[in-house]
Amino acid sequence: MYNVINSERIPVKLWLDDLEGKAMEQALNLAKLPFAFHHVAIMPDGHCGYGMPIGGVLATFDVVIPNAVGVDIGCGMRAVRTSIKEYDAERLKKVKALIQERIPVGFNHHKDKQTWDKFQDAPELNIVQQELQSAQYQLGTLGGGNHFMEIQADLNGHVWLMLHSGSRNFGLKIANYYHNIAKDRCTRWYSEIPDPDLAFLPKDTPEYAEYMDAMLYALEFAEESRARMMIAMISAVTDVFPTAMFDDPIDVHHNYARYEHHFGKNVIVHRKGATSAQEDELGIIPGSQGTASYIVRGLGNPESFMSCSHGAGRCMGRKEAQRTLNLANEIKRLDDAGVIHDICTTQDLDEAAGSYKDIDAVMAHQTDLVRVVEVLKPLAVIKAKTKTNQ
């Protein structure tokens, strides 16, 4: 259940016991916005972001806020269950090595241009067009930051494949470009917003239409990219397990805005680090590196705008994690769990499990939002050795 924080305009509903100070300030700023609708919802993985907390859900009347979507537009998850139930560490290491050979991570891109029909259909917007050349080498690549690929096992012994990735430079460039335009417009209009990082674009402006077109294109790119990486992961598995079969994939976005109907009104729902959880809708809630992930079904709770968390949520920043976490302890955590990994330096600590909230506590706070379908334990994890999040 949620806790209610009253503000001078609309309430904030929190699916967690406590939200750290800066993130709470951001949530209350959202509630002050004159176009914010009904209430602000903060998921149990909520923490500080730019302008709006990550893990936040905001409904608005006829405006879009670029920073309420975020800089990695279309970031999301893809997961596939396999028929494999008999495996050993050596074969899993072979699969992991093949995946690493076939899918570039971090700053690495494909050496050859990737073909995709929708490159020809890209919006005629400068910010999109200028990224098309590099995007043809980035399609189907992982990126860095908190993006990952994992081999997992459910409680019935089936092996799963999972990955987390976004729209690479498309999302970052689109978000920054239109946020700067929104800031300029809000300054010109003397808009009363509590934080310039919540600058907005009204529906009746050309820039609103441009942003929405660019955002939708980034969503398509991100989903296609995840699909191609999953194909590569599946090919690595079949090279080692030739008789393996695979279920249909589950794919979800967690950084986007779209029109939805809530509490009798058509509104623009912004989900920033939050996932749609409509009734019976399949979703993916990943843990942190080395902890459990969850396949869930939404319960369609209207109080969360039919949303749930997108993961565990950070409890400390990347630099703080590198400064304060103990490398040996984090390696031991993974080794004790039998997870095949590449953690070896203090720079790898920025995404260690110790820098994230307890995923089990996060799940306990959203039993009214989702029903757990599968619990997935990690067997092997693949991440970039750089700190970029393109």
The pLDDT > 70 percentage for the chain reads 98
Task: Supply the range of the domain harboring residue 94.
Answer: 3-315+356-382
Residue 344 belongs to some domain of the structure: no
Supply the pLDDT for residue 351: 77
Over residues 10-36, mean pLDDT: 96
Supply the pLDDT for residue 147: 93
Supply the pLDDT for residue 292: 94
Q: Are 353 and 119 in contact (CB under 8 A)?
A: no
pLDDT tens sequence across 229-284: 999 999 999 999 999 999 999 999 999 999 999 999 999 999 999 999 999 999 99
Residue 185 belongs to some domain of the structure: yes
The pLDDT > 90 percentage for the chain reads 83
| pTM metric for this prediction | 0.94
pLDDT tens sequence across 34-76: 999 999 999 999 999 999 999 999 999 999 999 999 999 999 9
Task: Report the b/e string of 332-341 with b at 16+ CB within 10 A.
Answer: ebbeeeebbb
pLDDT tens sequence across 192-211: 899 999 999 999 999 999 99
Average pLDDT, the chain: 94
Length of the chain: 390
Supply the pLDDT for residue 356: 83
Over residues 107-125, mean pLDDT: 95
**Per-residue confidence at 15, pLDDT binned at 50, 70, 90?**
very high
Higher pLDDT, 330 or 66: 66
Over residues 122-133, mean pLDDT: 96
Residue 152 belongs to some domain of the structure: yes
Say whether pLDDT at 331 is over 90. no
Residue 334 belongs to some domain of the structure: no
Tally of domains within the chain: 1
Supply the pLDDT for residue 385: 63
Say whether pLDDT at 352 is over 80. no
Report how far residue 59's alpha carbon sits from residue 183's, in angstroms, rounded to the nearest whole number.
20
Say whether pLDDT at 389 is over 60. no
Supply the pLDDT for residue 350: 75
Provide the CATH number for the domain around residue 79.
3.90.1860.10
Residue 215 belongs to some domain of the structure: yes
Residue 330 belongs to some domain of the structure: no
**Per-residue confidence at 316, pLDDT binned at 50, 70, 90?**
confident
Task: Report the b/e string of 172-194 with b at 16+ CB within 10 A.
Answer: bbbbebbbebbbebbeeeebebe
Say whether pLDDT at 390 is over 60. no
Say whether pLDDT at 328 is over 60. yes
Report how far residue 258's alpha carbon sits from residue 161's, in angstroms, rounded to the nearest whole number.
28
Supply the pLDDT for residue 179: 98
Residue 150 belongs to some domain of the structure: yes
Supply the pLDDT for residue 240: 98
Indicate the Cα dihedral angle 222, 224, 226, 227, nearest 10°.
Answer: 160
Catalytic residues, which ones? Answer: 310
> How many angstroms from the chain centroid is the CA of residue 102?
23
The two structure tokens encoding residue 68 = 């309420």
Residue 328 belongs to some domain of the structure: no
